[in-house]
Structure 1
Amino acid sequence: MNQARVHLWYGAKFGKDFPAFKRIEDGIDHYLISCTRLGVEVSGGGLYAPDNLDDMWHGRLRMNPLNVQPILFDRKCEQYRQRWPSLRVEPEASIDAPG
């Protein structure tokens, strides 16, 4: 995904404007589901995981508090659960603060 251009099309496609991202981490920070907010630096192998890896390892899907979009979140969770039925969707109360 070319994150430098997301702000140009995201609003028209999803109905919510996004800021222009200045860093790769800005784009990752806005991913819809918290446990997917991961980035690996190809050249050095560094890991960027602002929510740590706990939810990913335990199959928990939480809405990202920086990108609260319940309809898109539910749709994406359903897609993930079709592929990986053991995933669990956490209640909306989990969006209050990153864990």
Structure 2
Amino acid sequence: MPEWLMNTRRLADGTVVIEVRGEIDLGNAERLRGALADTATSVRPVRVVVDLMQVTFIDSTGIGALAVGRNTARSVGAAFEVRNPPPFVRQQLRMMGLTEAFGVQG
């Protein structure tokens, strides 16, 4: 099982990028949910970008964490975007009807 990691960085334009690696599932979705909500409410960025390039799996709890992050970001006036979802993750988001809501390109 791949190790789960999350890295957060702030860009000069006020965007916060949260990079996730590994599986987003019941074991760590709550940590992601908390990080997204805390970032939106504490940092108040202009945009929250969640980079999923290194994510190998996502389940419904992980998708739920992204939804909470999106809703929290929007509630404080920040844009929200999911970037670089691998094919499996993109398919899961598409099946849930969330690609547009999450700003997934393509």
Pair in the same fold by TM > 0.5 = no
Larger radius of gyration between Structure 1 and Structure 2: 1
TM-score, normalised via structure 1 length: 0.33
TM-score, normalised via structure 2 length: 0.31
Q: Return the structure number with greater helix share.
A: 1
- Bigger relative contact order, structure 1 or 2 (CA pairs below 8 A, ≥6 apart): 2
